[in-house]
Structure 1
Amino acid sequence: MTDKQDQSGISASIGNELPYLRRYARALTGNQDTGDRYALATLEAILADPDTMDPKLSVKLSLFKAFHAIWASSGSPVDRTPKDGSPEARAQWRLADLTRNSREALLLNSIEQFPADQIGQIMGIRATEAEDLLAIARTEMQRNIQGRIMVVEDEAIIAMDISSIVQHMGHEVTGIARTRDGAVDLAHRQPPDMILADIQLADKSSGIDAVNQIFSEMGEIPVVFITAFPERLLTGERPEPAFLITKPYTEDQVQSAVSQAMFFASTETLTG
């Protein structure tokens, strides 16, 4: 195999993992545009110097490691001075009080499902240190962020499971909606602090459309989307969610995404 073929194969592998890097970057920054800028900077660094990819690691691990080198070199920036009164600005200000690196470790584990030893490889720390950061993060991210959550899910067992998870976190579930119209009606009757929504609903309607209609009528609130096909949303061709859980999900993934979304108290509106 030629060097050109090797390079082509690596490029294809990076392309396969890119949607997940972008998902992580958005959850980390709490913002679609900011997350995408960091992901793009990572790709530019790799193109400029292919040795940026660590040959001792898998393509995914190496890609995330390259991202973290850029993220760390930029100072993992958190603006302590809110420029306006928006929920996102307030959230960015609060980020400055979190233990350094704890949020990164939590997202790598709960959203991307990297174990502690791989988190250490990505972040350049020991596995034991990664485990400590995970414990700290779970405590800090769930502290003082309880609220009212609406579940939009057409599968009864999944809806009950998700409701149980968020209730054990200390949140109140305002109700469960199975369709777009049901979700809009429930939101008006029991205004939530956050929405946890499946993409495909019982009447073939879209959870995205339901959320957008609620936003247009009631204003934006935090939202976490759940889907079995994340690559269909993480295309870069339209506004995308900052917080996205892939089915089948784990309890840790739900807890982390909900805590992050409540913490940021903001989301990117989807269209289409």
Structure 2
Amino acid sequence: MIAQEASDLTSRVARHLPYLRRYARALTGNQASGDAYAVAVLESVVADPALVSDHPDTRLALFAVFHTIWSSSGAPVAEPDTGISGRAQAHLAGLTHNSREALLLHTIEGFDHDQIAAIMGIGADEAAHLVDVARREMEASVRGAVLVIEDEAIIAMDIADIVEAMGHRVTGNARTHAEAVALAAADRPDLILADIQLADNSSGIDAVNEILSQFGDLPVIFITAFPERLLTGERPEPAFLINKPYTEEQIRSAVSQAMFFASTETLVA
């Protein structure tokens, strides 16, 4: 019976682990740092299974354990290893305390204000306030040029409308790998929003990798119906990954976060 309970708990935790890792990476701005926090969560659960097993919502319990560790560590982002990272940390210093965490929990991970309050150990009204504050502060922090790589015309138009309403400039939409590379070469983007499966069965991942090989580090957001193809733990993963169907709020949050963490001199703060 004990072995069965342990197996059930392992299965429940494993189901939510890729999304905890996604959140941790987006929060810290670095995959290695984010994964280190995810490992710390697993170690805590192994040491005290009741942290999760006694809770009716496994996902919420895992995120609550994460926030206990995150808060006790002082909520640091990764050490800056480039000028881009250094500028991102300078931006972070100006954000309202705890607002970035609340925003990610709400818009990327889909927790409501009551759940955010339980995870962060605050009131629901404060959680709602922090989400609103973070959205306004991040959207106002940077502006730039955005390349959309999406083969479905209606979705591409919707994404472009959302991005332009935030004050960014859309350089174009590519439906194939070749179009994406050509558009990037013609007008260097500050941010890429990409699907992973394109019109001619080419790969959005390959297109992004070729663009990055030309321009170096650029922030990238993948928007896909197949997140499991990227959340494998076997290779570098995107810090920003949105599931289809998406919401406008998710797009706005991810764009603000990605621009915020990877802002460059070409962006107007």
Q: Shorter-chain TM-score: what band?
A: over 0.9
Task: Give the Cα separation in 1 of the matches to 2:81 and 2:25.
Answer: 21
Q: TM-score scaled to structure 1, two decimals? A: 0.93
- List 4+ stretches of structure 1 deviating above 6 A: none
Q: Which sections of structure 1, spanning at least 5 residues, go unmatched?
A: 267-272
Paired residues for 1:228-267 under 5 Å: 228-265=225-262
Paired residues for 1:19-34 under 5 Å: 19-34=18-33
Given candidates 212, 220, 229, the residue that maps to 1:215 is 212
Task: Give the Cα separation in 1 of the matches to 2:17 and 2:70.
Answer: 16
2:38 corresponds to:
39
Q: Check if 1:162 corresponds to 2:156.
A: no
Determine what percentage of the aligned residue pairs are the same residue.
Answer: 62
Task: Give the Cα separation in 2 of the matches to 1:69 and 1:83.
Answer: 24
Task: Give the Cα separation in 1 of the matches to 2:93 and 2:247.
Answer: 28
2:266 corresponds to:
none
1:127 corresponds to:
124
Paired residues for 1:190-209 under 5 Å: 190-209=187-206
Deviation at 1:86, TM superposition (A): 2.0
Given candidates 75, 82, 92, the residue that maps to 1:95 is 92
Deviation at 1:96, TM superposition (A): 1.9
Task: Give the Cα separation in 2 of the matches to 1:248 and 1:164.
Answer: 16
Number of residue pairs aligned between Structure 1 and Structure 2: 263
Q: Which sections of structure 2, spanning at least 5 residues, go unmatched?
A: 264-269
Cα distance per residue 1:176-227 (max 9 Å; x no partner): 0001110000001111111100011111111111111011112221110111
Task: Give the Cα separation in 1 of the matches to 2:157 and 2:246.
Answer: 14
Deviation at 1:52, TM superposition (A): 2.4
2:60 corresponds to:
61
Cα distance per residue 1:15-45 (max 9 Å; x no partner): 0000100011011111111111110110011
The Cα RMSD (Å) is 1.4
2:101 corresponds to:
104
Deviation at 1:232, TM superposition (A): 2.0
Q: Give the stretch that moved more between structures: 61-70 or 43-52.
A: 43-52
Task: Give the Cα separation in 2 of the matches to 1:203 and 1:183.
Answer: 12
AA matched with 1:69: T
Cα distance per residue 1:73-128 (max 9 Å; x no partner): 1010158xx86652122212321221111000000000001000000011111111
AA matched with 1:162: I
Deviation at 1:51, TM superposition (A): 2.4
Secondary structure of the 2:122 match is coil
Task: Give the Cα separation in 1 of the matches to 2:7 and 2:80.
Answer: 44
